[in-house]
């Protein structure tokens, strides 16, 4: 690949697409489709490169109304070249047994914070879990732990109603004993 002499050092990015065009003309009863494939190019120009990045935030909502169980990581890149960041989600039940774990690596481009969504698609509709999300950016690891309750709204309303009825029953029973 020929690099212009005035190209700035660091990362440069582009995409190459190949596309198939349907034949022109009216063909009765047929469907014309364009097909396109692409490839992303990551090129680093020699010179003074600066690699700098960090995990900005890890988000784990403690109450989730439906499956999949979700968490997210925001990674920033303050340098002038790309790097790979690794995120891992580990889900354990209330007894400490790991029920799900997934790791993934993503490329983070300069000046573009990247949000990485982590999901457990097979999460049951009801459960209490201890979730750990780990993000490794340029050999610096950040971890966040949180308890997550996965429960539909109707189940939570039912629990509040039963607890409220119990409180009312206890108060009325106390008054009748006097």
The verdict on residue 177 lying in a domain is no
User: What confidence score (pLDDT) does residue 29 get?
Assistant: 63
The verdict on residue 142 lying in a domain is yes
Whether pTM > 0.85 for this model: the answer is: no
Instruction: Give the residue ranges of DSSP H helices in the chain.
Output: 153-177
Expressed as residue numbers, the domain containing 95 is: 1-171
The verdict on residue 178 lying in a domain is no
Res 78 pLDDT > 90: yes
Extended beta strands in the chain, E state: 10-20, 35-45, 53-60, 63-64, 69-77, 83-92, 98-108, 114-120, 127-137, 140-150
Domain total in the chain:
1
pLDDT digits (tens, 9 = 90+) for 13-42: 889 999 888 777 666 666 777 888 999 988
Mean pLDDT of 7-12: 89
The verdict on residue 176 lying in a domain is no
The verdict on residue 34 lying in a domain is yes
Residue 45's Cα: distance from chain center in Å?
Answer: 30
User: What confidence score (pLDDT) does residue 73 get?
Assistant: 98
Q: How confident is the model at residue 5 (pLDDT cuts 50, 70, 90)?
A: confident
CATH of the domain at 91: 2.60.40.10
Cα–Cα distance measured from residue 134 to residue 2, given in angstroms and rounded to the nearest whole number: 39
């Amino acid at each position: 690949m020929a690099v212009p002499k005035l190209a700035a050092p660091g990362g440069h990015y582009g995409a190459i697409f190949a596309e198939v065009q349907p034949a022109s003309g009216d063909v009765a009863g047929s469907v014309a489709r364009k097909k396109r494939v692409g490839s992303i190019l990551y090129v680093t120009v020699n010179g003074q490169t600066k690699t700098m990045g960090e995990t900005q935030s890890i988000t784990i909502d403690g109450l989730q109304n439906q499956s999949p169980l979700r968490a997210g990581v925001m990674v920033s890149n303050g340098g002038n070249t790309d790097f790979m960041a690794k995120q891992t989600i580990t889900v354990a039940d209330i007894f400490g047994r790991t029920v799900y774990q997934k790791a993934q690596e993503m490329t983070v481009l300069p000046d573009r914070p990247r949000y990485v969504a982590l999901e457990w698609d097979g999460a049951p509709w009801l459960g209490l879990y201890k979730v750990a999300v780990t993000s490794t950016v340029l050999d610096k690891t950040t971890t966040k732990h949180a308890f997550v309750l996965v429960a539909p709204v109707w189940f939570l309303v039912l629990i509040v109603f039963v607890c409220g009825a119990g409180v009312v029953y206890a108060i009325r029973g106390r008054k009748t004993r006097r």
